[in-house]
Structure 1
């Protein structure tokens, strides 16, 4: 295993701000991106699930990448989500993201059609061959219906531009096997696994909760890197109540993040969080921030 961090350690799966009338708000996106980098994010992942990619147009996706790249410059990596159910469409999105200035591509497993492993492998290779950008595979079978199996991941690791994985497979054994046997940089996509995956050699995380609490999440990795595993565990435990409310309370992470960040509405079919949920989220956020002051 050779540990690499091609996009940094602490990455935020960034929300996509909209105006009050539901239009793309590039000025707000640029401000939020700069804020996240100032607060400790090494990288920003755009146009993913949290970024409401199912309901943004191709033109909006490209405009968002361009605006954020211009805003953060070389202070952070910008990874563009380009996944779709169609290989052809994914290639088109990948090329547009490259032209817009992205530093890398996030490519999810094709969804709904549930292709077999050989087709999944061919899909990823085709996309990786379409640009000069490094690729982060996105393994999230709970949403796509199909896992990137360990053997498939091991074969894909040989491609020179497939360099990383956003891991939402909830299979610590399988992930640890790939981490041990390849140089793929694993990024936890599930906040509760940020520290466990990091402990077995992951590169870091891609977090929705980082939209709201970037410093407390990064502090966990900082403590671990200093060799203070007890402090890392303590700090990790402090993030869990907010992470649970944001990611496991029955509401999508996009909805809960936008309930705490001034970034406009969500697009239908998503709906905003109700008052009771917002109050719980704010209370958990304030408790974390109060305890994290000085971290």
Structure 2
């Protein structure tokens, strides 16, 4: 897809924390700079991997403001702004627009289960009308987490009602047929479809999708960048194989603690293991297993970071 606002490889960035569990903005900004220098075209911040729903409204604003103040380009940031409460989603979306973000990633209202398409349309209509189309809206389709999927009929209705505002989707369903159906139905109108899983990067680009927004891009984005640049051929195929193996390794343990473990060992900074409950750091056995799996995948060592250290 040409001219996609976030076309390419986007990391669903981790949110480092201080020992008191407050966001560590210096470490996060440094991580964002490293990601942008090592294969990422953009950064999905304050999403699932960034533990957005473990942070309060004021914390989420402070994180975004802190990154921009530390020189992370607002145009490269796609912050998550979807909340169960409509007014919170409106406030965060307006705030992201004020910071200069070109788009926001919005979960459906996820507390009440089995809402109708009419109810979801009403929710997103209110969001668009109350924010005045200040920034582009990307739908976050992650039914395993939200329990609220976006149907093709709902997307079509939203695109007709709000052309140019409803701009795309991150599909973390793991159902590639659903991603392909969205591309077939809507990509011709400039609707950007992003995979939430590394295993589909090469395929989604070939089918007319815009790229990916993935958790494992925190550590494997440089291989995604090869796939994005080359698309086909031996080099692209080899890089896609690394993405597949890295994704499998990342999901062999609890995903977010596992990625934090890789960062802790790769940087020699044990603070990366700090995580808000209900998430917990990996056990020693899990830590050893995921490190070995990422080594076998070909991702390690991470470029430009300190030599790896053993678990503490």
TM-score normalised to the size of structure 2?
0.85
Indicate the residue corresponding to 2:192 in structure 1. Answer: 185
Q: CA deviation at 1:172?
A: 2.7
**Alpha carbons 2:107, 2:141 under 8 Å: kept:** yes
Indicate the residue corresponding to 1:151 in structure 2. Answer: 153
**Alpha carbons 2:12, 2:218 under 8 Å: kept:** yes
Q: CA offsets, 1:18-56, max 9 Å, x none?
A: 012322111111111111111121111111111111211
Rate the CA distance shift 1:173–1:66 in 2: closer, same or farther, 3 A. Answer: same
The separation in 1 between residues aligned to 2:99 and 2:49, in whole angstroms, is 20
Identify which of structures 1 and 2 has the higher relative contact order when contacts are C-alpha pairs closer than 8 Å and 6+ apart: 1
Indicate the residue corresponding to 1:284 in structure 2. Answer: 293
Structure 2 unmatched ranges of 5 or more: 265-271, 304-312
Indicate the residue corresponding to 2:138 in structure 1. Answer: 136
Residues 82-97 of structure 1 mapped to structure 2, 5 A cutoff: 82-97=81-96
Report the secondary structure of 2:104's partner residue.
strand
Report the secondary structure of 1:102's partner residue.
coil
Determine whether 1:22 maps to 2:21: yes
Report the secondary structure of 1:136's partner residue.
strand
Q: CA offsets, 1:58-85, max 9 Å, x none?
A: 1111111112223344485111101112
Indicate the residue corresponding to 1:235 in structure 2. Answer: 239
Report the secondary structure of 1:79's partner residue.
coil
Q: 2:228 aligns with which of 221, 233, 256?
A: 221
Q: Which moved more, 1:128-137 or 1:159-168?
A: 128-137
**Alpha carbons 1:255, 1:272 under 8 Å: kept:** yes
Q: CA deviation at 1:243?
A: 1.0
**Alpha carbons 2:250, 2:294 under 8 Å: kept:** no
**Alpha carbons 1:137, 1:166 under 8 Å: kept:** yes
The separation in 1 between residues aligned to 2:81 and 2:153, in whole angstroms, is 24
Report the secondary structure of 2:170's partner residue.
strand
Indicate the residue corresponding to 2:308 in structure 1. Answer: none
Rate the CA distance shift 1:73–1:135 in 2: closer, same or farther, 3 A. Answer: same
**Alpha carbons 1:107, 1:138 under 8 Å: kept:** yes
Q: CA deviation at 1:291?
A: 9.7
Q: CA deviation at 1:86?
A: 1.9
Report the secondary structure of 1:15's partner residue.
coil
The separation in 2 between residues aligned to 1:292 and 1:234, in whole angstroms, is 18
Q: 2:249 aligns with which of 241, 245, 248?
A: 245
**Alpha carbons 1:242, 1:281 under 8 Å: kept:** no
Rate the CA distance shift 1:76–1:40 in 2: closer, same or farther, 3 A. Answer: farther
Indicate the residue corresponding to 1:38 in structure 2. Answer: 37
The separation in 2 between residues aligned to 1:105 and 1:290, in whole angstroms, is 31
Report the secondary structure of 1:212's partner residue.
helix
RMSD over aligned CA atoms reads 2.1
Q: CA deviation at 1:208?
A: 0.6
